[in-house]
Every structure is written in C-alpha cells, then in structure tokens.
Amino acid sequence: MRKLAVLVGERRPDWCVEGTTLAAPGALEAAVARLEAPVVVPFFMADGFFTRQVLPGRLKAIGRDHLTRLQPFGLWPETAALAIRILHQATLDAGWTEPETRLLLAAHGSARGPLAAAAAREVQARIQAETAFAAHALGFIEEAPYLAEAARNLGDRALCLPLFVARWGHVRDDLPEALAFAEYRGRVLDPLGCHPDVPGLIAAALDRAAD
C-alpha cells in the first residue's frame, strides 16, 4: 500500500517541494533531510493509522517529531467543497440533473478502526447537505457496507466518485472489480486527489500555515 506525505520548505516564494511515500524504506527520512524547515502535508483521505502512528513514529525516530504537520488532505473543508464542484460538473457533462442522478462514493475504510470510514462519512454529509442527488450511497473496500453492495441497483444515471488520493491499487483493481460484480452501469470519475485543483488547495493550506 503506497501512501504519500508531501513536504514543503519553510517560506514562499522559495518553497522547495518534496513528495515521498511511506512505503519506501528511508524515503521519508531522506526527503526531510533535504529540507531546512519542512511542513508536512499528509496526502491521505483520513487521520488514521498511517498519520497517527506511522508518520509521527518515523519522524520521531530521526528527531524531527517537532515539525509542523497539517491535517490530512481528506479532512479539509476545501476537499469536500472540491468533491461537490466535481460532482456538479460531472452531472452537467452527462447532461443530467441532480434530482435524476444517483451518487456513489467509493472509499477505503479500514479494519484497523473507525477513523477512515468516519472521514468518508463527513465528506458524504457535506455533499448531502449541498446537493440534490436522488440517492447518496457510500461503499468501502475494506469494511461494510462494501462497495459491491453499495453499487447495486443505481441505474444508468449514476456517478461514482472515488474518495482516494491517487490511482493506485485499490482504484485500479479493487474498485472496478467491485463495480463489475455489482453490475454498476453509471459513470466512474477520477479519484478526488487527482483533480487538477488539488495542488492549489495544498498551496493555499501552506499559505495559511506560513502566515
């Protein structure tokens, strides 16, 4: 499982950006060593095992546990707002209206604890409050309700938004397998974290952290 932490140097406009994965031994430590005063942006959809235990543990082991760490990307209000914009645009592109469109959110979930599912439900709640879709389904890869169950009987006018930061294993393999098993016939959008507005959201978060 590949996960990212994005590290950015101390001040604008001379920021130095490093992207690193926790999955590669020594990669995080090497990236931190190349920066003088990094701010850590955990590019995760939830504040769970990796952000609460693995990341701080690795930083502590090299004496850098004092570094500023932002909230994980998936918990930002701006991330939920981006999801809503994506869905509005996807509905328009399909030539549909929200009241005739069913929505499926595909998320990771976790067998380790409730935090991953809770983060996805927060995004779902924001979308429900600010849109008028005919149905709001949420399915997980690693816990119930499983994606294959949530994707059933949504019809042709359906949008699936993967609440993932990248197009890695779960999005490439598990998601299409679950949708095929459910005989899902709607449209599948790009993962939320792949949207071209994401770098701007990260830059704005770093602006706020630097002020």
CATH code of the domain containing 25: 3.40.50.1400
Q: Tally the domains of the chain.
A: 2
Assess whether 178 and 200 both reside in one domain: no
| Distance in angstroms (rounded) separating the CA atoms of residues 52 and 72 | 10
Looking at the fold, whether 86 and 65 belong to one and the same domain comes out as no
| Residues 29, 62 contacting (CB under 8 angstroms) | yes
Q: 38 and 110 in one domain?
A: no
Same domain, 69 and 90: no
Sheet holding 17-21, edge to edge: 17-21, 4-8, 39-43, 68-69
Residue 94 pLDDT: 98
Report whether pLDDT(131) > 70: yes
Say which DSSP state 134 is in: S
Q: So what's the pLDDT on residue 43?
A: 95
pLDDT tops 50 at residue 154: yes
pTM over 0.85: yes
Is it the case that residue 143 has pLDDT exceeding 90?
yes
Do 68 and 86 fall into the same domain?
Answer: no
CB count, 10 Å around CB of 2? 11
Same domain membership, residue 200 and residue 184: no
Whole-number Å distance between alpha carbons of 60 and 10:
19
Residue span of the structural domain in which 34 resides: 4-74+196-210
Which residues lie below 8 Å from residue 87, measured CB to CB, with a gap of 6+?
A: 103, 127, 131, 133, 159, 161
Average pLDDT, the chain: 91
- Give me the pLDDT at residue 11, please: 45
Residue 210 has a pLDDT of 76
Tens digits of residue pLDDT in 2-27: 344 555 444 456 678 888 999 889 99
Output b/e per residue, 60-71; b: 16+ Cβ within 10 A: eeeebeeeebbe
Same domain, 30 and 88: no
pLDDT of residue 209: 83
Task: Round to whole Å and give the CA distance between 70 and 204.
Answer: 12
Asked if 129 and 190 sit in the same domain, the reply is: yes
| 146 shares a domain with 83 | yes
148 and 107 in a common domain? yes
Percent of the chain with pLDDT over 90: 79
**Lowest mean pLDDT across 8-17, 44-53, 81-90, 185-194:** 8-17
121 with 181, same domain? yes
Among 4, 3, 29, 31, which residue's Cα sits nearest to residue 18?
31
* Mean pLDDT of the 182-206 span: 95
Span of 3-12, 32-41, 54-63, 80-89 with lowest mean pLDDT: 3-12
Same-domain status, 92 and 67: no
